[in-house]
Amino acid sequence: MDLSETQITNALGLAGTQAAGLLESDHSGSMGKHLHTGRAAQSGILSALLARNGFTGGETILEGDEGFLKAMTDIDPNAMTDIDPYTMVDAHPHETDLPMENYHISDVYFKIYPVCRHLHSSIDALLEIVKENQLELEEIEKITVNTYKIAAEHDDYHPTSTEALRQSLPVSMAVALLNHYQETVDLIEFSYSPPNQKEINDISGKIQIKIDSNLDKQYPQSRPSEVTIFTEKGIYKNKVDLPQGEPENPLKQGVEWKFRNLNPDVDARVLDVIGNMDSYPDVRQFMGDLNSFLKI
């Protein structure tokens, strides 16, 4: 939008005062969680447009005494006297020409399953056991999951909607396991009342979830889950500290693989456009090329 420094400051101030999104909407499996990111993007665009037209926003919305940082942390506000906003985006502030991996945006994770992130370690651990030991579905007698408290609390065995299903650890594990045996893609699809509902219920009924106090101490530095599968011929155990898609455990197939699986009908050349984004002289030309391949 070609905003000036002052306009950018105002835009950030206006966006910051609209920041919202309560985890309570996550617990019941409502559609509210899907609103968070879209609403945030809408607020960002609105803030930039307002700032461009002279609307002012708080200049210290991030680091101020009653700003975003102090509102969103449990640290004593009186102890937060020397906040450096540069460290929010740059792991090495005040240095220039650093590679992209030094920026905090590179620390985001990518999901391989369309469910709550707290469920991913358990799914990964489960599928690794089954694949490595070539276990058949009929062999599985019981599955135990020891994990951290927040993950274990996602223990709804009878979700009543697609959104609630995505917050259910036992049912998500059951769907992932069933999809593995049906040789579907790893980007598993989740929907309420699928045709194989009885099989999913049978599998989830074999899953026992427990809070592990030792694993709970490791969160949020990691998202540990220890899964054990009991069969007549043996007991198989696996522990995953960080699920696929974390910076320390990247997606094996890569983000491009995920994009292609989710968008099989999209022209693959769009990836070249995105990959060369920095070479475009302005965003209008970039969006023009992008839209030509996306046919928007």
Q: Do both 209 and 274 map to the same domain?
A: no
Residue 272 domain flag: yes
Domain CATH code at residue 200: 3.30.1330.120
Q: What is the amino acid identity at position 167? A: Q
Low-confidence ranges of the chain (pLDDT < 70): 27-29, 74-102, 183-194, 295-296
Residue 252 domain flag: no
Residue 204 domain flag: yes
Q: What is the amino acid identity at position 96? A: T
Total domains, the chain: 3
Q: Do both 133 and 194 map to the same domain?
A: yes
What is the pLDDT, as a whole number, of residue 257? 82
Q: Which two tokens stand for residue 260?
A: 């292609």
Q: Do both 213 and 278 map to the same domain?
A: no
Alpha helices in the chain (DSSP H): 5-16, 24-27, 32-52, 68-71, 120-133, 149-152, 162-165, 169-181, 197-204, 213-218, 255-262, 269-275, 283-294
Contact, 169 vs 119, CB < 8 A? Answer: yes
What is the pLDDT, as a whole number, of residue 221? 95
**Is 69 exposed, middle or buried (CB count within 10 Å of its CB: 0-12, 13-18, 19+)?**
middle
What is the pLDDT, as a whole number, of residue 46? 96
Residue 23 domain flag: yes
Q: Do both 287 and 208 map to the same domain?
A: no
Q: Do both 210 and 146 map to the same domain?
A: yes
Residue 275 vs residues 172, 269, 290: alpha-carbon distances, Å:
33, 10, 11
Q: Do both 195 and 274 map to the same domain?
A: no
Question: For 31-66, what is each residue's pLDDT tens digit?
Answer: 887 888 889 999 999 999 999 999 999 998 888 888
Cβ atoms < 10 Å from Cβ of 54: 8
Q: What are the respective helix, strand and coil percentages of the chain, to the nearest 5?
A: 45, 10, 40
Q: What does pTM read for this prediction? A: 0.78
- Out of 61, 83, 98, a domain closes at 61
Give the domain range for residue 53.
1-61
Residue 44 domain flag: yes
Contact, 146 vs 215, CB < 8 A? Answer: yes
DSSP 19: -
b/e code 137-176 from CB counts within 10 Å (16+ = b): eeebeebbbbbbeebbebbbeebeeebbbbbbbbbbbbbb
Q: Do both 53 and 137 map to the same domain?
A: no
- Out of 224, 240, 256, a domain closes at 240
Q: Do both 195 and 230 map to the same domain?
A: yes
Closest CA to 104 of 83, 87, 117: 87
Q: Do both 200 and 271 map to the same domain?
A: no
Residue 34 domain flag: yes
Residue 289 domain flag: yes
Q: Do both 178 and 289 map to the same domain?
A: no
Residue 138 domain flag: yes
- Out of 61, 81, 104, a domain closes at 61
Q: Do both 235 and 275 map to the same domain?
A: no
What is the pLDDT, as a whole number, of residue 102? 66
For residue 42, the number of C-alpha atoms closer than 13 Å in the C-beta half-sphere is: 6
Q: Do both 140 and 216 map to the same domain?
A: yes
Q: Which two tokens stand for residue 41?
A: 């993007």
The neighbouring-strand residues paired with 240 are 225
What is the pLDDT, as a whole number, of residue 223? 98
